[in-house]
Structures are given as structure tokens and as C-alpha cells.
Amino acid sequence: MPRFLSISCLILLICTKTSGQISNYRVYFGATRTQPQQIILRQWQQNRETRYLTVNPQTLKTAVVNLPASAVQPLSWPQIGQQFNRTPYLRAWQGEQQRDHNLQDAGLERADTTERGFSLTIDLCPSHKPLDRSVFEQLIASFEPEEKPVPVTITITGLWMESHAQDLAYLKGLANRGDLDITWVNHSYHHRFDPRLPLAVNFLLEPNTNLNDEILLNEQAMLSNGLIPSPFFRFPGLVSDKAVFDRVLTFGLLPIGSDAWLAKNQQPKQGSLVLIHANGNEPLGIADFIKLIRQKSTAIRNKTWLLYELPTSVADASEK
Ligand SMILES: [Zn+2]
């Protein structure tokens, strides 16, 4: 009997481990047939279902949906361009084509300039150090009750997720509790970096980089961890060239830079994409940010200085 039990436990363990597994993950373009129409960016198999990652072309919000084939209209990317031409998502994507030249900080670096505040982006590059939880505690303490949940954008790497399960659970807990509204952004799986190499052959520009893996493996890791990838992408090191930038666009993604990297002393403006690192490697930027929110406490109470959700901010900017 004990032997039978242990075998059934083993089978159960295998089943729970594999039932949620993602397979056949791929770039897939299309639209849902139901209204309001959503654009489809990815397709995969999970739990014997065909699942899709969709983006709302008006709000830039993404979702994971399980749809029968009859509810899906397959389209080429140029057909999506025609059909959703006037939507904020397509306008933002078209705007990116003019932002592909810089070696550093290409992509969208400022959104809606009429905002009374900015969007906060926090990078989780691979790190051996624990998550800097103080920044999240300070954020919640400073912005609630004026903003609850507090909107933040977190860019995440596969290697960070592999070694920080408890920190990731902590962040998901803050979101589940209604303290944070997190926009999750792909920051590549490995985020390779060699301090001896010049930027032109570093990060994703390192020879032999498999861009497909860097993007799609990270999205799968995000989904396996219960995170829904947004339509944004942040280049590791904020480094790209025209070729790699344009390839990222072919995945339907919107690269984001930053015009206010606090550790580099760049001050936030209205609609800025502010950048800090909470992976334990940038205490200066975190200290600057905490100082900044303390200085602004009266303005936060008066709601004249706020944090903005990135998808909405980009959608609003594309309509101006
Ligand atoms: Zn990074």
C-alpha cells in the first residue's frame, strides 16, 4: 500500500508540473472576431488549449485568452497595419520606426507631455543581490491613498526570475493585494553584458546573439510565472542598432528607452519615462528616487505630481 501511494504521488507531481507547460510558442499575428477586436501577437499550447497573447489596440493592454480557431482571423503584419491603422497601438508602432537610430536609448523615451507626472520604470537585470524592496515600500507609502494601486512598469529578465523566486512572489503579492498595478516588460532572457567590450558589440549586439530566444524564451518564462507580457520591450543596457531595433519591431513590440535615468542625474519632466534599478546594483538611483518622492510629498497629496500607467500614457501620447 505505501508503495502504491508513493507511485500515485509521483504521478500527481509529474502531472501538476507538466500540465501548465507551454509548448509550440510562436509569433502569430491576427485579430479576434469578437468585438471589441483585439490584435493577436502570440500563440501557444497549454493545458490542452490553444492560447493567445492579445493587445487591445486602443488601450495597449495585453491579455491571455483561450480561443477556438473559429474566433480567430489570421492576418499578416501588413494587414494588421491596414486594419488597425488609426489605433493608438499602430500609431505608437509606426512612431517607433523613426526612433531606431541611436546606439543608446533608442525607442520611446517620453510619452504624454501634458501629464502632471511621469511613468516609473524599474529594471530587473540579472543580479546576485536580493530585490531592493525599500523602493516599493516607499512608493506605496508615498502615493497611497492618492494612487491605489500605484502604477509601475517593471522590466524583467529570465535569469533574474530563475534566481529570485521569493522576490518575484513578493512583487506579485503587492499586485494581488491591490498596492501595485504592474506593467510587465520583456528585458531579454540573458541580458548578456561584457564590461570589456565596446557598446557596438555588447548586450544584444554581441555576435551570435539569438534574438528570437532572447525575446520568446523570456515571454514564456514570464507567462510560466503568471506575468502577462505587455507590448513593450526594453533593450538590455538601452543599447541597440538599427538592425536589431527593426527586428524587435517585427515581433509587434514597442521598444522603450528613458529620458530620465536618475542615477545619471537626468531629471524627470512631464511624461518622462523615469528609470531606476531595483536589482541591488544601483543604490544611488534608488536613494535619488526616494529623496525625490519625499520632496514632492505635498504635490502628491494635492495630486499635482502623480505616477502614470505606461500603456495609457503611450496611448494618449499617440493621439496628440
Ligand atoms: Zn538591464
What pLDDT does 285 receive?
87
C-alpha torsion sign, points 243, 244, 246, 251: positive
Q: What is the CATH number of the domain that holds 303?
A: 3.20.20.370
Instruction: Compute the distance from residue 191 Cα to the ligand 1 centre, in Å.
Output: 7
Same domain, 150 and 299: yes
Domain that holds residue 27: 23-81
- The whole model's pTM is what? 0.92
Instruction: Compute the distance from residue 104 Cα to the ligand 1 centre, in Å.
Output: 13
Instruction: Compute the distance from residue 214 Cα to the ligand 1 centre, in Å.
Output: 13
What Rg, from alpha-carbon coordinates, does the chain have?
20
Instruction: Compute the distance from residue 190 Cα to the ligand 1 centre, in Å.
Output: 10
Instruction: Compute the distance from residue 234 Cα to the ligand 1 centre, in Å.
Output: 8
What pLDDT does 105 receive?
87
Same domain, 43 and 144: no
Instruction: Compute the distance from residue 256 Cα to the ligand 1 centre, in Å.
Output: 12
Picking from 258, 51, 292, the residue whose alpha carbon sits closest to that of residue 155 is 258
Find out whether the peptide bond into 149 is cis, omega within 30 degrees of 0. yes
- What are the residues whose beta carbon lies below 5 Å from ligand 1 (ion)? 123, 125, 236
Same domain, 119 and 228: yes
Q: Looking at the chain, how many residues does it have? A: 320
What pLDDT does 19 receive?
52
Asked whether residue 11 is domain-assigned, the answer is: no
What pLDDT does 218 receive?
98
The number of distinct structural domains making up the chain is: 2
Same domain, 35 and 153: no
Same domain, 69 and 179: no
Contacts of 203 (CB under 8 A, 6+ apart): 191, 192, 193, 235, 236, 237, 239, 240
Same domain, 44 and 133: no
Asked whether residue 297 is domain-assigned, the answer is: yes
pLDDT along the chain (320 residues), means of 10: 43 47 98 95 96 98 96 98 96 93 87 88 96 94 92 98 98 98 98 96 96 98 98 96 96 95 88 93 88 89 91 88
Same domain, 191 and 247: yes
Instruction: Compute the distance from residue 236 Cα to the ligand 1 centre, in Å.
Output: 4
Same domain, 124 and 53: no
Asked whether residue 138 is domain-assigned, the answer is: yes
CA 68 to CA 157: how far, in whole Å?
31
Same domain, 250 and 313: yes
